Structure 1
């Protein structure tokens, strides 16, 4: 078990995680910039190209459920290295495709699936190697995503203009080969150490732990399953930690992750096409995307220090971040011109930059490092399903109405739903606390 937490090799784990998010989000934003060109070159509709990218992002989320079983057979370094190389090969193959179906297959089966394993490995190892500084480390790691977006948007536009879409994908695939090198930094670690996070959550116990405690309390021995089917269900639940869904706080965090996945895919994939429709030039569109990336970076780097030093609680920050995201999307149809769009995207970026890493921090505080692999897998899987719906709906509404305004209004309502769920959880916690107080009296 690794004992030198928050020091030593922990910082190389953080570096690898930062680079992994940098390369992945840079690729996603680059594909978003290329959507108008790919739509023209493949002679297809916007929603089909957007759906291909969305399915890649969905595969990234759904593949997270594979990490738990895989890490029982191979260590994290091997999983991350092989996954990183497979992800880059998917992009390299995509540059040789001739239609949108071939393009989507390469990105979904190779790039999306492999990157999901790599990024989930990074998130899990951060929980193993960091404790006291976990929120800050998580923010720095996730900041790689905003740096990737900031760099990729103008760089991809320049490469696209010079080398065309095939040359652009070839260069992006070459850059993604670094994902294989990132995996070499992921030294395996143990996940058995309990966290000491400042969040208010209590660790969720597994079914096996609860059964053992119940047997000790009642003096009864644990009985084996009476049927093969019930035994199989019990093994599946134990292997996947599906019993986490019995905890209301975990369900609320899953809703939060679903919102995160929807808003970021719409922003990453459709921001540039959206502002081009509003009349901006390609390089002005890159500036708008860059403003959002700066906002994300600000939120990611700023929130960790506030949480770790207990200057501002995780819960209030989660409310603030969702208000910012909701306002950015709901007000977007009213924004026209370069600087209003820059301001709106910056506000969205700050909100997302706080929410994304903070959700992982609160998830770890709720389930503990030992169950983090499956918990992240469930969260990413739920988000992956929502990504499919988001990309299809946004592209389809644009093809139908000729505007992204309707899509942005629909997406802007999702952070409002999360705020309502958080309020419901707070009320539920207050009721439970009052019942405990009444019971103790």
Structure 2
């Protein structure tokens, strides 16, 4: 019996991880690496950009967080663009937008110029790519979705282990302008992964309208009305009335706020503790070790039904809170490195499990609209993550209070999930 069960499990895994499934997984992996790498690289560049253009850390943080806000706004249009042009084409275009936008950044002469470029070009490219890659992965994998989601999120490991020290090396060697140009060259490469992946469903085509033979003006009115109706149907406003949506959003809100703040300000936080720029970059890379194991640690248990996804989310949220709250008492290299690894472990687990929880509570057919709306309402989390820690640093002279607030947030964000479990609504 056990042999038959294992054989069936292997057949399901082989069926889902076929050639096209692997290409889709590679695409999702590269998009995650691109998103994390760009954000972490901008965090490494934050002190240099502050010295170059302004004396206020929070202003530079807002300029970067504006990009994150545009990521979420652009994600809201992903469903419409997918239906009109297809996921594959939009994924290719989005990766090119990121590279082109970063090429334009070194031409900027003020922090306002950088904010506009990041918000208009780089952010929308990342937003469309992130939503469509996650939705495509969710539709392509069923029995092994937790494992596939975990593997895709290991792209963040690449951004943590490679991008932080790489950008520090580029910065020391070529200055911030040269470093940004080299980052742009790296960001063009994920387009190849999107080209290799095939769409499982044919591109959407508008049905032939029954009024095609009418007068031109009448036809235009009918087309406009039809497009508007379809747009409302596609963005799926009804999902906002579901309790499960807000449960998932609350969990993701907590991790996104923390992740944005950590990526942007952790290097500066380590500088304020007395660590050199090289040591700070190396410590950040240590989080990649924890991030790698966190992406896959819960996958075997969740896929086999041994642990409920909601239970795993609660556990990882509390561990993430712990790793940030006790940060203010860590001063030596060893304790800071251990907490950094613990942060990577818990945050990666929470990111992976949140995607799985979204599919479990909202269904695979609503993944694109779910991820889009979660991203749109998550603008506040990204904005606070880019503004609050820098403002607290400028006000108090320390990041300690900021990290306490960051630590409390995941524990508070998981409360709706706990209520749903207690009331048996989940």
TM-score, length of structure 2 as denominator length: 0.87
Aligned-pair CA distance for 1:232: 11
Question: What is the aligned counterpart of 1:171 among 179, 182, 188?
Answer: 182
Separation in structure 1 between the aligned mates of residue 227 and residue 133 of structure 2, nearest angstrom:
30
Question: What is the aligned counterpart of 1:370 among 365, 382, 385?
Answer: 365
Does structure 1 residue 347 correspond to structure 2 residue 342? Answer: yes
Does structure 1 residue 395 correspond to structure 2 residue 406? Answer: no
Aligned-pair CA distance for 1:303: 2.1
Name the structure 2 match of 1:416.
Answer: 411
Look up the SS of the partner of 1:73 in the other structure: helix
Does structure 1 residue 329 correspond to structure 2 residue 339? Answer: no
Say whether the 8 Å CA contact 2:317–2:414 is kept in structure 1.
yes
Name the structure 2 match of 1:246.
Answer: 241
The farther-off stretch of 308-317 and 290-299 is 308-317
Does structure 1 residue 113 correspond to structure 2 residue 124? Answer: yes
Q: CA RMSD in A?
A: 2.1
Q: Deviations over 1:245-295 (max 9, x none)?
A: 222122110011111210111111111100110011112111221122221
Separation in structure 2 between the aligned mates of residue 58 and residue 104 of structure 1, nearest angstrom:
11
Say whether the 8 Å CA contact 2:250–2:414 is kept in structure 1.
no
Name the structure 2 match of 1:208.
Answer: none
Say whether the 8 Å CA contact 2:287–2:343 is kept in structure 1.
yes
Aligned-pair CA distance for 1:137: 0.4
Aligned-pair CA distance for 1:323: 0.8
Say whether the 8 Å CA contact 1:324–1:350 is kept in structure 2.
no
Question: What is the aligned counterpart of 2:380 among 367, 376, 385?
Answer: 385
Separation in structure 2 between the aligned mates of residue 286 and residue 264 of structure 1, nearest angstrom:
17
Give runs of aligned pairs for residues 277-292 of structure 1, distance below 5 A. 277-292=272-287
The farther-off stretch of 5-14 and 97-106 is 5-14
Does structure 1 residue 81 correspond to structure 2 residue 92? Answer: yes
Say whether the 8 Å CA contact 2:324–2:403 is kept in structure 1.
yes
Say whether the 8 Å CA contact 1:122–1:186 is kept in structure 2.
no
Question: What is the aligned counterpart of 1:52 among 36, 55, 63?
Answer: 63
Q: How many pairs align?
A: 391
Separation in structure 1 between the aligned mates of residue 193 and residue 127 of structure 2, nearest angstrom:
14
Q: Deviations over 1:308-365 (max 9, x none)?
A: 1333331221111101111111111111121111111111111111110111111112
Look up the SS of the partner of 1:299 in the other structure: helix
Separation in structure 1 between the aligned mates of residue 228 and residue 93 of structure 2, nearest angstrom:
31
Aligned-pair CA distance for 1:25: 1.0
Aligned-pair CA distance for 1:161: 0.4
Look up the SS of the partner of 2:298 in the other structure: helix
Aligned-pair CA distance for 1:112: 0.9
Say whether the 8 Å CA contact 2:80–2:231 is kept in structure 1.
no
Does structure 1 residue 426 correspond to structure 2 residue 410? Answer: no
Separation in structure 2 between the aligned mates of residue 70 and residue 21 of structure 1, nearest angstrom:
20
TM-score, length of structure 1 as denominator length: 0.85
Segments of 4+ in structure 1 off by > 4 A?
A: 231-237
Separation in structure 2 between the aligned mates of residue 284 and residue 338 of structure 1, nearest angstrom:
9
Say whether the 8 Å CA contact 1:6–1:129 is kept in structure 2.
no
Say whether the 8 Å CA contact 2:20–2:197 is kept in structure 1.
no
Give structure 1 stretches of 5+ with no counterpart: 192-230, 434-441
